[in-house]
Chains A and B, each alone.
Chain A
Amino acid sequence: MSQYFLLRHRDIPGIGKIDVYKKNGGFEAFKKAVTSMKPAEVTDAVKASGLRGRGGAGFPAGVKWSFIPNNIWPHYVVANADESEPGTFKDREIMESNPYQFLEGVAIAAYAVGANAAYVYLRGEFWPVAHFLDEKIAEMEKAGFLGDKLFGTDYSLRIHTHLGAGAYICGEETALLESMEGKRGQPRIRPPFPAVYGLYGKPTVVNNVETLTNVPLIIEKGADWYKSLGTPDSAGVKIFSLSGRVKKPGNYELPFGTTFRELIYKYGGGIIDDRPVKAIMAAGASSTMIVADDKALDTPMDYASVRALGADLGSASVIVIDDTVSIDWVIGKTIHFFEHESCGKCTPCREGCYWMLHLIERIEHGEKTKENVELLHSVAKQMQNKCLCPLGEFSTMAVTTAIERFPADFKD
């Protein structure tokens, strides 16, 4: 694509500097919203654009904002920059290279829901990114885009960064809020949802970094323009994080509806050593295992089409696996990850991950018996639909589908 909307630094070097960002229309959308639109009109515009959450769940962003009640105050906006799904590395590039567009999105979201304070929750490993954003926030304050009485109105806003400290679970929004409150990051029972009972028990919008980075464009160019990109089911552009056994891994900003084949071969340069592609995980480690046949490769990457393949697009973290890799080794890696990251709150996830790890280790160390494989499948199946948050579910998806769709890899 010749023109980027999210990774705009690839078109406009230096867009991470406030002067350059301003020269390229920066903060015009925020100014337009605050000076000429009612908060509800901003929410309606985002709703009409069809923008769906880019963190994995794909929930319509504008609809989420409209759930914020106006009889409980104050309100908060929290940007989820916990980016920890294996295979996902898009939010970091946005924040490092196009930070103002992201922060402007945070500011517009805050105006739309009447929040005077917004937080960016970054995973602890993004320590330098947080310090970089602190500098950008200070620049915005100096230039009058954050602070009191913005653009001569009564609206005030401050943005703060908050660093996590290494816990995948904090990407789950209620765990993230617990963590921000200075507690262990364990998910809350829902309902109530964060829109009603969020940070400090107050109405809170939690959105992913990439989701928020879309918002200034929607306010500037309109919902119809935004919908003209992508597919009817999945509006706009998406950053696909491509990793694994491809020649050119990296972030690719493409319209929804691009096929797996185009992503892997046209953009990713094909498979290392030109081997055949064997399997695809479309949503990081939290994926089902897709058999990479012609049908799958020619599937357009939008939410509905990928679901029809028995998978999910999630945060579009496409991990590519070739025929040099055995699938039992792959799920050994994913199980090890989830066993480490299970927060321990729900018994099926805590104990299930532990036993899945034991079984896969047994299988990988030579005991690839029918009994062990069936037992692993059964443990995974029994964990499903039994946990408070999706982590428990995620940990089983690759396991069950690997055994079902790649049976040869589980036989000696």
Chain B
Amino acid sequence: MLAEKYPQEVKKILAKYPPEQKRSAVMPLLYLAQRESGYVTKEALKDIAAMLEITSTEVVSIIGFYTLFHDEKAGKYRMQVCTDLPCALRGADKFLEELCGNLGVKVGGTTADGMVTVEAVMCLAACDKAPMFQLQSADGIEYHENMTVDRTMELVEALRKSKA
């Protein structure tokens, strides 16, 4: 149960919104639910629905609508490379292709050790610093900008080591 596992956080989230509008807390609570395993489990989903007095279906519709909520397990890190027009004009497509080659995965695939899932995503508002990607994990999201394939591979190695 989220409220038992993270009592302080849940309280803080609910306090942001008028008491009669607690449904507004659904997105911050989904982020909290993803903190453990990187995706929203069925139990967490029901838990959030009960807490906010909405149906599970309504919570599922939120997860499905927004790209940063996930209902399936993926790699420990989701490496989301922007390949939208401004980044693509600065070599993002080639970067993604070479990166996938180096990691031995296809776009959308996960490395054999389960560490990194590589995805192509829409604009991340860092168009002047392409090639770039964000790294989404249970700890949150961080940007990596002006990247090369070599530096990205070093980063992946560092992530692998930090696990060990």
Contacts and interface: CB of A to CB of B under 8 A. Distances in A.
A42 interface: no
Interface residues of A, number: 53
B89 A337 contact: no
B9 to A, nearest CB: 12
A83 interface: yes
Interface residues of B, number: 41
Contacts of A319: 85-86, 89, 127
A179 B27 CA distance: 9
Interface string A76-92: 00000001111111011
A404 interface: no
A125 B68 contact: yes
A394 B37 CA distance: 37
B65 to A, nearest CB: 4
Interface in A157-193: 160, 162-168, 179-185
A200 interface: yes
Interface string A185-226: 100000000000000100000000000000000000000000
Interface stretch (A17-25, A237-245, A290-298, A373-381): A237-245
Contacts of B68: 124-125, 165-166
A141 B129 CA distance: 34
By secondary structure, the A interface counts as mixed
B26 A86 contact: no
A182 B23 contact: yes
A182 B134 CA distance: 25
Contact of B28 (A91, A125, A162, A285): A162
8 contacts: A92-B126, A125-B134, A162-B27, A167-B67, A200-B21, A241-B127, A285-B85, A325-B89
Interface of A: 83-89, 91-92, 123-128, 131, 160, 162-168, 179-185, 200, 241-245, 249-251, 285, 317, 319-321, 325, 330, 333-334, 337, 340-341, 343
Interface of B: 16, 18, 21, 23-28, 30-31, 52, 54, 58, 61-62, 65-69, 84-86, 88-90, 121-129, 134, 140-143
